[in-house]
Structure 1
Amino acid sequence: MSPWHASAAEPASPDALRVLRPPVPVDVALTLRPLQRGTADPTVRATSQGVWLTRRERVDGRPLPATLLLQPGPEGTVTVRAWGPAAAAAAGRAEALLGLPDDGWAGFDALLAGGAGRALPAPLREARRRTPGLRLPGAGALAAQLMTVVLEQKVTHDQARHGWRSLVRLAHEVQDATAPGPVPAGMLLPPAPEAVLAVPSWQWHTRAWVQPAQQRALLEVVRRADAVDRLGEATPAWDPAAAAGLARTLLRIPGIGPWTVAEALQRSHGAADLVSVGDFHVAHLVGQVFTGSRTDDAGMLRLLAPWAGHRQRVVRLIGLAGIRKERFGARMAPTDMRRF
């Protein structure tokens, strides 16, 4: 039995309640893991009760606060509890969050069952066998996803996590972001665009450890947040062609490149075929898994070409296979502009 439904007390009565009975296996924690920016993320938290998410859902064109709790239950059910003014809208997004409308896994599994499956390294085939409930989330909230990814541009893991936590808290100091419902301690709503714009410039560096280029790119996203979210809502999820078209549009935002777009759309739209080109680790790891040697972005795309339409599914399986990239030098040291 999962520890999530062993003995945890039921949370306070929600404003919206649903029980999902998915027609396919779904692993709630595994599916939602890409949305969590570290264990101390103020907006996504996995606890013994389930996975908590705070959101600003657009209702009649206005962003309203909501908190979600998704709890795996017996016989594959998922209980969805929601609180706040946008509780009904947030609860209604549960299937998308869990990637349930995505039928691409059936096509991927059909490839594995056929001759193409032998071309996939054995550790990845085993990872898929062990994780039948893995889905690609369609979290929406594209502007918020872009914000989290911008803070991951060309910095260390710790810098990225610290930057997101700090930005959420700085924005909360400007504009109250208390999350509705009985949330775990320390959880807050994602930052509202107007609050981000009001954060004093010096605090970006001294408190959030955000580099100047990141700050400029993030502010470009925030100034366009409403248009970005409307564009995201108009683009269907789990549609490779639609995701590619949306990616081309987002690349027009100054400071936003292919890596940032791919990472954001993987979370907001379940982009199954957008690979994170330009990543410091991914190309090396793909090369290592498929050939035993490192490769570059061009080599990675050649190796993943037989899996067109599913390339990000393959990358997710690499992460779940427990394979780690070989190291040939010291770890990258964090850049700290606060010293200059």
Structure 2
Amino acid sequence: MEPSAQRAFRLPRALDLAATLRPLQRGPLDPTLRFEAGAVWRASRTPAGPARERLWQPPDGRVHVEAWGQGAEWLLEHASELCGSLDDDSDFRPGDGLVRALHRRAPGLRLARTQAVWEATAATILEQRVTGLDAWRSWRLLVRRQSEPAPGPGPQLWLPPVPERVARLPLHELAGIGVEAKRAAALRRAAALAKRLEDVCELDPPAARRRLVSVPGLGLWSAAEIARVALGDADAVPVGDYHLPHQVAWALAGEPRGSDERMLELLEPYRGHRGRVLALLNHAGIRAPAYGPRQPLRDISKL
């Protein structure tokens, strides 16, 4: 099937397409995003309608995009933003040490901006209070049971569910995909407010995060996670995460365990780019030592 629209572009700075878009994937079996045969396949509900896109990057560095569906032109128009064209790291000058080394080692790692706020919000709420594996399973089931395949050829992709449908889901339907009453209420509430959520794309990142936390069920952790994916927020820090404080303390201070307060203290020299530092740590695969008793999961829905 011929694409509805296609284009190619080159960013003014280096781009590692796979590394930039990998953080958007909700687990390796995410039905809305696939990495296959050197290309990235993504499905989304754009303001112009549902669509599928295929992005790939030949050795010459240009990004090629093909898209299918009602929202094909919208995806092409915003493809460079998805790939980090608005990600400005010109004033990011980490001193000597690990962060500088990681930044120099990954010059093509950019911060993606999907502008799909509802889609990021739905997936983020499912990640509250549970392990990643459980959240990814719930996301897969929500998409498969409450949505439909994306238009176009290629690997099987499913569109994220429309908020109107999610807002009407009975609690027992959500319980059937592993979502307990508290997260279910937050998800349905966010779905009912989807239009208000999408409007944060017009705000600067700090104002956007403030708007997000005004929605019941979305706290600092959730707002940062949404802003990271949907807005490409370079300073977003998910306060309240179970693993992140340990990761930051270990990477930046050699301390095997940390707290939110210690994490923020260590990240303060990078203010404006704290989310970028976290992205570099994740890209490098840096993790704190795994030892000691496992702590209970924290309820991050109120944070």
Report the TM-score when normalising by structure 1: 0.83
1:217 aligns with 2:186: yes
Cα distance in structure 1, aligned partners of 2:288 and 2:127: 19
Aligned to 2:163: 193
**Amino acid of the structure 2 residue aligned with 1:297:** D
Aligned to 1:106: 90
- Choose from 164, 171, 180 the match for 2:151: 180
**Unpaired segments ≥5 residues, structure 2:** 299-303
Note the aligned Cα RMSD (angstroms): 1.7
Cα distance in structure 2, aligned partners of 1:15 and 1:170: 27
Cα distance in structure 2, aligned partners of 1:253 and 1:178: 30
Cα distance in structure 1, aligned partners of 2:216 and 2:200: 18
Q: How many Å apart are 1:302 and its aligned residue?
A: 1.0
Aligned to 2:301: none
Aligned to 1:234: 202
**Amino acid of the structure 1 residue aligned with 2:31:** P
The verdict on how the C-alpha distance between 1:333 and 1:162 changes in structure 2, with shifts beyond 3 A counting, is farther
Bigger Rg, which one: 1
- Choose from 117, 122, 142 the match for 1:142: 117
Contact 1:18 1:80 in 2 (8 A): yes
**Unpaired segments ≥5 residues, structure 1:** 1-11, 236-241, 336-340
| Secondary structure in 1 matching 2:160 | coil
Q: How many Å apart are 1:317 and its aligned residue?
A: 1.1
Q: How many Å apart are 1:153 and its aligned residue?
A: 0.5
1:261 aligns with 2:223: yes
Aligned to 2:66: 81
Contact 1:156 1:332 in 2 (8 A): no
Aligned to 2:210: 248
Cα distance in structure 1, aligned partners of 2:254 and 2:262: 13
Contact 1:65 1:180 in 2 (8 A): yes
**Amino acid of the structure 2 residue aligned with 1:89:** W
Identity level (%): 38
- Choose from 266, 290, 299 the match for 1:327: 290
| Secondary structure in 2 matching 1:261 | helix
- Choose from 266, 272, 278 the match for 1:315: 278
Aligned to 2:22: 33
Cα distance in structure 2, aligned partners of 1:260 and 1:72: 32
Cα distance in structure 2, aligned partners of 1:296 and 1:233: 31
1:296 aligns with 2:259: yes
Cα distance in structure 2, aligned partners of 1:214 and 1:33: 25
Query: Any runs of at least 4 consecutive aligned residues in structure 1 with deviations exceeding 3 A, and if so which?
Result: 329-335
| Secondary structure in 2 matching 1:75 | coil
Contact 1:171 1:199 in 2 (8 A): no
1:65 aligns with 2:50: yes
Alignment deviations for residues 150-202 of structure 1 (CA, whole Å, 9 cap, x no partner)? 00001011111001101111212xxxx221110312x1111001221343421
Cα distance in structure 1, aligned partners of 2:25 and 2:294: 23
Between 154-163 and 325-334, report the one with greater CA deviation: 325-334
Alignment deviations for residues 291-323 of structure 1 (CA, whole Å, 9 cap, x no partner)? 211221111111111111111111111112232
